[in-house]
Amino acid sequence: MKGVYIGSVTVVVVLLFLYQWPKMKSNDRKEKAAFATIAMIGWAAAVVYIIFPEMTSPAKVLDFILVQVRNFIFGPI
């Protein structure tokens, strides 16, 4: 089942490329690099979440960091 999910995420990313790539001019190398990098980050994140569904999320990491900062400044509540 995980293979199907990974396959469908890959299809979504390929569709993104097919839609957006022809729209960018050939001399916009920076844009193309940025587009490809961010799309790859999204794909990698999706695949990691499919393989490890229980993994932590940015929201929880940020909460943890903020609580640590608050405890450091104001002392534990």
Please report, as ranges, the residues that interact with another protein according to CB under 8 A: 12-13, 16, 19-20, 23-24, 28, 30-32, 34-35, 38-39, 41-43, 45-46, 49, 53-55, 57-60, 62-63, 66-67, 69-70, 77
- What's the closest the beta carbon of residue 17 comes to another protein, in angstroms? 9
- Tokens describing residue 30: 């920076």
Closer CB to another protein, 4 or 23, in the complex: 23
Contacts for 48 with CB less than 8 Å, ≥ 6 apart: 55
**Counting Cβ atoms within 10 Å, is residue 29 exposed (0-12), middle (13-18) or buried (19+)?**
exposed
